[in-house]
A and B are shown apart, each in its own frame.
Chain A
Amino acid sequence: MSWKIEVRPADSVADSRGKALLEEAHVSGVDSVRCIQTARGYILGGDRLDRDRAQAAVVALLRDPVCEIASFTGDEPAPEAAHRIDVLRKPGVMDPVAHTVLETLHHLGFEDIDWVRTFSRYFIHGLDADGSGELARRVLANAVIEDVYVDRPDFPTDFAIPPVPFERREVALRESSVAELLDISGRNVLALDEAEMRTVQAHFRDLGRNPTDVELETIAQTWSEHCKHKTFRGVIDFDGEKIDNLLKQTIVRATTELDRDWCVSVFHDNAGIIRFDDEHDVCFKVETHNHPSAIEPYGGAGTGIGGVIRDVLGTGLGARPIASTDVFCVGPLDLEIDKVPRGALHPRRVLRGVVAGVRDYGNRMGIPTVSGAVCFGDRYIGNPLVFCGSVGILPRDKAFKAARTGDAIVVLGGRTGRDGIHGATFSSIELSSESETVSSGAVQIGDPITEKKLLDALLIARDQDLYTSITDCGAGGLSSAVCEMGEELGAEVHLDRVPLKYAGLTYAEIWISEAQERMVVSVPPENVDRLLSVFRAEDVEATVIGTFTDDRRLHLFYRDESVADLEMSFLHDGLPEFHRPARWTLPASSPAPRIPGRPTGEHLKALLARPDIASKEWIIRQYDHEVQAASVLKPLQGATHDGPGDAAVIAPVLGSTVGLAIGCGIDPRTGDLDPGEMARLCIDEALRNVVAVGGDPDHTAILDNFAWGSPERPEALGALVLASRGCYEAAVAYGTPFISGKDSLNNEFRTEDGESVSIPPTLLISALARVPDIRRCLSFELKEPGRHLLLIGKTQAALAGSHIHASLGVSGGSVPRVDLDLGPRILRRVADVIRRGLAAACHDVSDGGLGVALAEMAFSGGVGARVVLANVPTDDELDDWTALFGESPSRFLIEVRREDAQVVAQMLEDLPYICLGTTGGENLVITGRDGQTIIDEPLPPLKAAWQSGLAIMEVHRQGESGS
């Protein structure tokens, strides 16, 4: 028997969720819908479950007696003139609520309930049945993971997945032609190319047998771009120049040359580790999760943040995550509905989904999300980018690990299901209008509480020294985790021992499943019992599935039958050398456009309202940015706590005054024009952000995340070479080593017409700086009237790629360039000024230039300013446009008390700087280069413009003050 139960707000209580969805429907272009009523649904099933018992379960757990009504479906007719929509997760898609409900009901004595499913129910007024279904698909459900039923209260609930009989499968590879090899690769989503397939074929010809399916899958996954970074580590022919291992020659080389003694572990663990204080190290990792987020933004971003958190949990012997970061690149929010290409979601829906995904996962994990950015652009419509970062802290004696022969292989956390099969290889394939259907298996919903429990239990086990090594199950699942840990040893795994969510998985699926919330540890035999009991006490599953051996082979068994027997050396080193051509031609330069007239307050307000620049408060407030109570500078700063801080600062050891500043730099608008310069600009910006709040530039580490188009296009690869070289040059010049990084290539979208749209070359630089004394930290906004406002750094007559160009719809001229001699000197001098407590405010000048930076400082501090553009330091011919809105790097604005002015002037003596003006008054008053006032704006309209940029996302606001 099964019982469908609907729980809805009592008549006396407002259905505020329904109200919010109604507004969202209207924004999404479904105008005629009049009312949406919402309800939560539960299906309780059990062979002997009668109605009275189901009713008792509802009373015991599912209904709030104060403000909810529960009823059995069928007892009450649907409201008149309304259509009933039921949304259910497809069979096999994670349903954490159902899991919790079933477990709790069992604890409460409802042993007669065998299974639980949840669903969402809506009553739609004002649309016909077809219109209601369309609304469901557009606003209420995602067809990739959910089924929608319109007026079908008898919708099917049976979802048992039949068990599959065990059958050892081989793939006939030895005699295959090239065409057949490629067909095998394509059909099984292996993403192996011809040379790779031939190498595999030759290997098995030598062995005199065919591979099993799971052997082939293991090889494909280990050799995937996602895991091996073939492009970065392969051989590139760059216009005749041979580059062997781009990563080693640029990013890693910078770190090696800099040889900082506070770098503890770089590039070889899940995250880079640096020294923090006498007792702790800290680590940082940033990942992308782009393709899943394109198809299912909520699940994609949630599992993205969940995955990078596990990276940190699996760093050294395990770090405690203390902060998260998120950066999104999406299409324009005001895109017309009919311009959304088939196979893509509207950018608003993408942004809403990814924000909710990070929110629900990060908040539930109890990790503050403290830093981020959002960029907008047409070429992100089909292929949005989601970067998720995690910072962790670990005791200094836990930074290194090594599994040992004889250690038990123990899988921890969530169960294995069919979810996420082929994520490692899927991310190496272009998205298309068909992606929704072909790759839904790679999309998942996360279960943050399982991961939180895993975190709690793991750190207890770590502190009791119960295991010798650890890694997370990310892309490639158990295959990747076990083969990585056992590379130097060998491993034997019994796949039938892996706990499953449901029957029906083949041994190969068990091995490569990317089900979330799992980790693998190696446990000395004498510790196994203690480890299992630690996890049992925290209600986390821990299961011994095999042993690390000493024969450097991978043995997989299913019910004692061998299903794989591979040499680790072939897996890890058998990949054929990877060759790719690259070239780069600078885009033809065009002269800088002449912009008529002069800058006005309207231009400034237009810039402030651009979504890239505008307030991200709508996003930030949804994140718990204060949990763990470590925040020192929050992402929103200023007199009324709503201004744009340059970076966030946390002090993760409660009561200690040592902190960490976390910031980033990203500039996709320059990526097309000059990828090398983009890299230098991003590093300069990331460093300015962390230094502006009090970070130590001589104890700052950076991370690279390249999100690129297909490296099979020589121009895209050429751009990657230049950007990597830019990274090397700037990292060395600034003295800031890379400690970790990740690339995500193949970010392209194929439209229905067959046209391939590549994202612009996009580099995210994330910076982590030690703050020696948090009491010296500085927020960016103006503090008091009557003080000096100093501009440090040179302004260039370079507006290409700037927001003012985009705002005016013009292009041309040159991009601003980083002066790698001057930039680092400015950075360190500003850090000195801050360290000595001589600055009252400090803001880096970036997107939107001096005009935007001044406005942000003024309206966030509630203090006006009078400035003059005449003597802005420069080597060029400036006009008011370039002086006010140019985005030249290496510039800071600082507020200085009158009594400190002389000391600061001495400190800056040999640097380009001027006293731009003074603070005070009600307005921001800007005098142009010819002495005439060009802008004289009260602060409230400037702030209002800046706060309007994401207003389109705030559909719920009207409803908020009422009731």
Chain B
Amino acid sequence: MSAPRVLVLRTAGVNCDFETEFAFERAGAEADRLHLNALAESPKKLLDYQVLAIPGGFSYGDDVSGGRVFASEMRHRLADVLATFLEQDRLAIGICNGFQVLTNLGALPGPFRTDATPTVSLVNNDSQRYEDRWVHLEVRTPHCAFLEVGDRLYLPVAHGEGKLVAREKTLKQLREQDLIALEYVTPDGEVASYPENPNGSLAGIAGLTDPTGRVLGLMPHPERFILPTQHPSWTRRELPDLGDGARLFAKAVRYFD
């Protein structure tokens, strides 16, 4: 099969679109950056793509809260085509602000419905400030199209609103259905506290998938560790040809083999 096509959706304040496009293209996909306005003009265009990527940034300035306005705009302008897209055998990923968009849309933990209300929320870090630091992650779910269960990833986070909160029964459901995609861990794989859990996230949750495993949202930035020289201490070691983040994009591309 030919290379999957990826739509990198951008709007006011999205700012990780170029590197997300680069990450997918390095992995062998064909990626286009497209403005929400252009997509909303002919929503069916979305179905020309196999993967929808909502990149990081500060869509609409994080005004009200991270991802809220972008999600409102998407629900208002694209709800039906989005429902169709997600029902079919296609993938969607939201990174950082994109994760916040997916939770606000109710696409995570999902399943997405056009009238869904959010059941989890990403709120201010416990530190009350934006932080950029590298974290260790472990893949929990066995059924996410982007991830290999048990895989360990080292990636940067850069956000002010990344603490996942949910009610008790939601958390129970996340566990029972294997929807917890990624957890912050210590370098030894143990339960992490600050700063290894950089935001105080419930149960150390760094990323979620939906029941189909075809939607992934995560706070860390896999697109920022594609090249070996992006590692924060690459000058101290021999590095592989590719960064940890590249595995995630490569697996998504292989999904369409």
Binds A, one of B62-70, B86-94, B178-186, B247-255: B62-70
A-contacting residues, B36-92, CB 8 Å = 37-38, 56-58, 60-65, 68-69, 72-73, 76-77
Contact status of A959 and B165, CB under 8 A, knowing A64-B65, A641-B232, A654-B19: no
Instruction: Choose one: B58, B232, B233; the contact of A363 (CB below 8 Å).
Output: B58
Residues in A with CB closer than 8 Å to B195 are 960
Q: Can you list 13 residue pairs at the A/B interface with Cβ under 8 Å?
A: A64-B65, A66-B121, A538-B37, A620-B132, A624-B132, A626-B224, A626-B230, A627-B16, A628-B19, A629-B22, A629-B224, A633-B235, A651-B229
Q: Are A108 and B236 in contact (CB under 8 A)?
A: no
A-contacting residues, B128-176, CB 8 Å = 128-134, 156, 158, 165-167
User: Chain B, 1-42, contact with A by CB distance < 8 Å: what is the 0/1 string?
Assistant: 000000000101101101100100010000000010110000
Q: Are B64 and A960 in contact (CB under 8 A)?
A: no
Q: Are A625 and B118 in contact (CB under 8 A)?
A: no
Residues in B with CB closer than 8 Å to A365 are 15
Residues in B with CB closer than 8 Å to A62 are 64
Tell me how far the C-beta of A363 lies from the nearest C-beta in chain B, rounded to whole angstroms: 6
Contact status of A97 and B64, CB under 8 A, knowing A66-B121, A621-B132, A625-B132: yes
Q: Are A655 and B227 in contact (CB under 8 A)?
A: yes
Residues of B at under 8 Å CB distance from A? 10, 12-13, 15-16, 18-19, 22, 26, 35, 37-38, 56-58, 60-65, 68-69, 72-73, 76-77, 117-121, 123-124, 126-134, 156, 158, 165-167, 193-195, 200, 221, 223-224, 226-227, 229-230, 232-233, 235-236
Tell me how far the C-beta of B27 lies from the nearest C-beta in chain A, rounded to whole angstroms: 13
Instruction: Choose one: B13, B119, B134; the contact of A364 (CB below 8 Å).
Output: B13
Residues in A with CB closer than 8 Å to B60 are 100, 104, 449
Q: Are A66 and B132 in contact (CB under 8 A)?
A: no
Chain A: which residue is nearest B117 at the CB level? Answer: A65
Tell me how far the C-beta of A7 lies from the nearest C-beta in chain B, rounded to whole angstroms: 9
User: Chain A, 49-73, contact with B by CB distance < 8 Å: what is the 0/1 string?
Assistant: 0000000000011101111000000
Q: Are B13 and A101 in contact (CB under 8 A)?
A: no
Q: What is the predominant secondary structure among interface residues of chain B facing chain A?
A: mixed
A632 at the interface (CB under 8 A from B): yes
Q: Are A67 and B236 in contact (CB under 8 A)?
A: no
Alpha-carbon gap, A625 to B77, bound state (A):
34
Q: Are B236 and A96 in contact (CB under 8 A)?
A: no
A339 at the interface (CB under 8 A from B): no
Chain A: which residue is nearest B37 at the CB level? Answer: A537
Q: Are B57 and A64 in contact (CB under 8 A)?
A: no
Alpha-carbon gap, A841 to B120, bound state (A):
46
B-contacting residues, A338-362, CB 8 Å = 359
Tell me how far the C-beta of A834 lies from the nearest C-beta in chain B, rounded to whole angstroms: 11
A16 at the interface (CB under 8 A from B): yes
Q: Are A366 and B57 in contact (CB under 8 A)?
A: yes
Q: Are B61 and A97 in contact (CB under 8 A)?
A: yes
Q: Are B123 and A13 in contact (CB under 8 A)?
A: yes
Residues in A with CB closer than 8 Å to B134 are 641
Alpha-carbon gap, A439 to B65, bound state (A):
33
Residues in A with CB closer than 8 Å to B38 are 537
Q: Are A107 and B35 in contact (CB under 8 A)?
A: no
Tell me how far the C-beta of A106 lies from the nearest C-beta in chain B, rounded to whole angstroms: 11
Instruction: Choose one: B77, B128, B233; the contact of A779 (CB below 8 Å).
Output: B233
Alpha-carbon gap, A956 to B194, bound state (A):
13
Instruction: Choose one: B61, B72, B128; the contact of A16 (CB below 8 Å).
Output: B128
Alpha-carbon gap, A624 to B63, bound state (A):
18
Residues in A with CB closer than 8 Å to B233 are 637-639, 641, 779
Q: Are B126 and A104 in contact (CB under 8 A)?
A: no
Residues in A with CB closer than 8 Å to B194 are 960-961
A690 at the interface (CB under 8 A from B): no
User: Chain A, 583-617, contact with B by CB distance < 8 Å: what is the 0/1 string?
Assistant: 00000000000000000000000000000000000
Interface centre among A13, A364, A633, A654 (most CB of B within 10 A): A654
Residues in B with CB closer than 8 Å to A621 are 131-133
Residues in B with CB closer than 8 Å to A452 are 12-13, 15, 58
Tell me how far the C-beta of B40 lies from the nearest C-beta in chain A, rounded to whole angstroms: 10
Alpha-carbon gap, A842 to B26, bound state (A):
33
Contact status of A956 and B128, CB under 8 A, knowing A66-B120, A364-B58, A366-B57: yes
B-contacting residues, A173-228, CB 8 Å = none
Binds B, one of A421-429, A471-479, A753-761, A770-778: A770-778
Chain B: which residue is nearest A64 at the CB level? Answer: B121
Instruction: Choose one: A16, A449, A620; the contact of B124 (CB below 8 Å).
Output: A16
A162 at the interface (CB under 8 A from B): no
Known pairs A61-B64, A628-B15 / 18 extra A-B pairs, C-beta < 8 Å: A17-B128, A64-B118, A66-B120, A67-B121, A97-B63, A107-B77, A366-B58, A449-B13, A449-B58, A449-B61, A627-B15, A629-B223, A629-B227, A632-B230, A639-B233, A961-B193, A962-B200, A963-B126
Tell me how far the C-beta of B125 lies from the nearest C-beta in chain A, rounded to whole angstroms: 8
Tell me how far the C-beta of A709 lies from the nearest C-beta in chain B, rounded to whole angstroms: 35
Residues in B with CB closer than 8 Å to A13 are 123, 165
A448 at the interface (CB under 8 A from B): yes
Chain A: which residue is nearest B168 at the CB level? Answer: A12
Q: Are A626 and B132 in contact (CB under 8 A)?
A: yes
Residues in B with CB closer than 8 Å to A623 are 130, 132
Residues in A with CB closer than 8 Å to B129 are 622, 956
Residues in A with CB closer than 8 Å to B57 are 366
Alpha-carbon gap, A625 to B131, bound state (A):
10
Contact status of A66 and B35, CB under 8 A, knowing A13-B165, A16-B126: no
Alpha-carbon gap, A303 to B254, bound state (A):
45
Tell me how far the C-beta of B120 lies from the nearest C-beta in chain A, rounded to whole angstroms: 6
A539 at the interface (CB under 8 A from B): yes
Alpha-carbon gap, A170 to B244, bound state (A):
68
What 7 pairs between A and B have smallest CB-CB spacing?
A366-B15, A629-B19, A66-B121, A100-B63, A449-B61, A20-B128, A779-B235
Contact status of A629 and B130, CB under 8 A, knowing A452-B12, A452-B13: no
Alpha-carbon gap, A626 to B69, bound state (A):
25
Alpha-carbon gap, A71 to B191, bound state (A):
38
Alpha-carbon gap, A67 to B229, bound state (A):
40
B-contacting residues, A739-787, CB 8 Å = 774-775, 777-779, 783
User: Chain A, 516-552, contact with B by CB distance < 8 Å: what is the 0/1 string?
Assistant: 0000000000000000000001110000000000000
Residues in B with CB closer than 8 Å to A620 are 132
Residues in A with CB closer than 8 Å to B56 are 627
Q: Are A639 and B236 in contact (CB under 8 A)?
A: yes
Alpha-carbon gap, A448 to B230, bound state (A):
26
Alpha-carbon gap, A146 to B73, bound state (A):
31
Alpha-carbon gap, A783 to B226, bound state (A):
24
Alpha-carbon gap, A707 to B193, bound state (A):
44
B-contacting residues, A463-489, CB 8 Å = none
Contact status of A359 and B130, CB under 8 A, knowing A539-B12, A626-B156, A655-B227: yes
A636 at the interface (CB under 8 A from B): yes
Q: Are A537 and B35 in contact (CB under 8 A)?
A: yes
Alpha-carbon gap, A620 to B130, bound state (A):
10
Contact status of A104 and B221, CB under 8 A, knowing A539-B12, A629-B22: no
A866 at the interface (CB under 8 A from B): no
Tell me how far the C-beta of B50 lies from the nearest C-beta in chain A, rounded to whole angstroms: 23
Alpha-carbon gap, A866 to B79, bound state (A):
66
Residues in A with CB closer than 8 Å to B193 are 961
Residues in A with CB closer than 8 Å to B19 are 628-629, 654
Residues in B with CB closer than 8 Å to A956 are 127-129
Tell me how far the C-beta of B222 lies from the nearest C-beta in chain A, rounded to whole angstroms: 10
A168 at the interface (CB under 8 A from B): no
A736 at the interface (CB under 8 A from B): no
Q: Are B61 and A364 in contact (CB under 8 A)?
A: yes
Residues in B with CB closer than 8 Å to A629 are 16, 18-19, 22, 223-224, 226-227, 230
Contact status of A960 and B126, CB under 8 A, knowing A364-B61, A775-B229, A779-B235: yes
Tell me how far the C-beta of B29 lies from the nearest C-beta in chain A, rounded to whole angstroms: 15
Tell me how far the C-beta of A140 lies from the nearest C-beta in chain B, rounded to whole angstroms: 14
A453 at the interface (CB under 8 A from B): yes
Alpha-carbon gap, A624 to B62, bound state (A):
15
